């Protein structure tokens, strides 16, 4: 997709896994722990092809809410934006085309070191982001358990991220307990790693956060217009960039479902980080069907570039009504395919 000035507009979807996701009750990014392990690869395939190939199924939450990658794909079908999936440590085979910047899933953050290669992932990401010859880059993520690692990284850096969740009832207390345990086994007190983003990532982060921060830093260095697409995790990325001394303006594109989450004050967290929030309302209350109902009930909320894709639709003058229609068509196509397969 070309920008108005003739440059390229691209979405970079950073995918990876962390053992942190297997801690019970933290994430809804998959029907069960086994399926969750395939969620990032499935999201990447869905965005690239409009369906899964190697991945066992289109990701759904335990209650059946489909992955936000479905919404991102719907917008991609309407606007044709360029996509690149960046593998930060998938841990499974995928049929999605990927740029491999990492190879190892992150460890459970309650282990002493979660991402031993955090500094090199950041550097590889930075090199890639700096060279990427695009005018406008939207960075997205898919990593189950990612809001918990984001919260932990924020805590290590001394930044309050007021974390959101892909579950309708945000298991904040459970996340806090995991984060407290994670910092303790790594030997740090909250805020002790202020200004040391790579060490915070190594201690309690995940590989996706490390690559996101690196690519973002590189893109900003080379003057690319950057949009971080997502909720809590992208605020953590902004926190990592600030901790690295990067004071350029940072924009985060997200959904109203994240901003309106009563258990998280995302606007306040964004303000503290000097982040400009771009919130695009897809108007789901004006449509009917299982996808819209689940999202309106507070499930999934964001992820796999959903907020960034909605922002792209607005930028390209694609109406939210046609986005909703395409979501319905895609959902029916995928469910039909599942039924008849």
CA distance linking residue 317 with residue 311, whole number of Å: 10
Check: CB of residue 106 under 8 Å from CB of residue 141.
Answer: no
CA distance linking residue 182 with residue 165, whole number of Å: 19
**Residue closer to a copy of itself, measured from CB, 66 or 145:** 66
* Overall residue count recorded for the chain in this entry: 341
Rounded to 5 degrees, what are φ and ψ at 8?
-100, 135
CA distance linking residue 210 with residue 141, whole number of Å: 11
CB of 72 to a copy of itself, least distance (A): 15
**Residue closer to a copy of itself, measured from CB, 82 or 265:** 82
CA nearest to 206, candidates 300, 109, 119, 141? 109
Rounded to 5 degrees, what are φ and ψ at 200?
-65, -40
**Residue closer to a copy of itself, measured from CB, 2 or 221:** 2
Alpha helices in the chain (DSSP H): 33-49, 69-79, 118-131, 146-157, 172-186, 197-204, 207-221, 232-243, 256-259, 266-272, 290-296, 306-315, 320-340
Q: Which residues contact 319 (CB under 8 A, 6 or more apart)?
A: 313
State whether residue 88 is helix, strand or coil: strand
CB of 335 to a copy of itself, least distance (A): 14
For 93, counting Cβ atoms within 10 Å of its Cβ (0-12 exposed, 13-18 middle, 19+ buried), the class is exposed
Which residues in this chain contact a copy of itself in the complex, by CB under 8 A? 1-2, 8, 48-51, 53-54, 77, 80, 84-85, 95-99, 128, 131-134
**Residue closer to a copy of itself, measured from CB, 78 or 210:** 78
CB of 317 to a copy of itself, least distance (A): 16
**Residue closer to a copy of itself, measured from CB, 77 or 104:** 77
**Other beta carbons less than 10 A from residue 17's beta carbon:** 29
CB of 220 to a copy of itself, least distance (A): 17
**Residue closer to a copy of itself, measured from CB, 80 or 289:** 80
CA distance linking residue 45 with residue 337, whole number of Å: 15
CB of 143 to a copy of itself, least distance (A): 18
CB of 338 to a copy of itself, least distance (A): 13
CB of 1 to a copy of itself, least distance (A): 7
**Residue closer to a copy of itself, measured from CB, 184 or 337:** 337
CB of 16 to a copy of itself, least distance (A): 15
**Residue closer to a copy of itself, measured from CB, 128 or 188:** 128
């Amino acid at each position: 997709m070309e920008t108005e000035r003739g440059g390229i507009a691209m979405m970079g979807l950073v995918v990876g896994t962390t053992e942190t996701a297997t801690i019970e009750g933290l994430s809804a990014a998959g029907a069960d722990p086994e399926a969750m392990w395939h969620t990032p690869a499935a999201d990447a395939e869905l965005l690239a092809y409009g369906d899964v190939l190697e991945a066992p199924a289109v990701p759904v939450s335990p209650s059946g809410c489909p992955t936000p990658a479905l919404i991102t794909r719907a917008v991609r079908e309407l606007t044709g934006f360029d996509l690149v999936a960046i593998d930060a440590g998938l841990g499974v085979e995928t049929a999605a085309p990927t740029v491999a910047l990492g190879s190892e899933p992150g460890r459970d953050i309650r282990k002493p070191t979660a991402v031993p290669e955090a500094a090199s992932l950041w550097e590889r990401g930075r090199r890639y982001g700096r060279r990427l010859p695009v005018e406008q880059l939207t960075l997205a993520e898919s990593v189950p358990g990612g809001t918990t690692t984001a919260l932990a990284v924020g805590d290590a850096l001394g930044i309050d991220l007021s974390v959101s969740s892909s579950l309708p009832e945000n298991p904040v207390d459970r996340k806090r307990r995991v984060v407290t345990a994670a910092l303790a086994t790594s030997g740090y007190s909250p805020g002790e790693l202020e200004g040391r983003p790579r060490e915070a990532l190594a201690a309690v982060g995940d590989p996706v956060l490390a690559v996101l921060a690196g690519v973002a830093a590189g893109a900003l260095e080379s003057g690319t217009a950057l949009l971080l697409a997502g909720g809590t995790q992208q605020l953590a990325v902004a926190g990592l960039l600030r901790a690295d001394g990067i004071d350029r303006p940072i924009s985060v594109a997200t959904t109203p479902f994240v901003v309106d989450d009563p258990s998280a004050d995302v606007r306040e967290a964004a303000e503290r980080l000097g982040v400009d929030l771009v919130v695009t309302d897809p108007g789901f209350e004006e449509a009917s069907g299982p996808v819209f109902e689940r999202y309106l009930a507070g499930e999934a909320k964001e992820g796999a570039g959903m907020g960034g894709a909605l922002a792209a639709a607005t930028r390209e003058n694609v109406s939210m009504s046609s986005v909703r229609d395409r979501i319905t068509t895609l959902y029916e196509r995928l469910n039909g395919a599942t039924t008849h397969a």
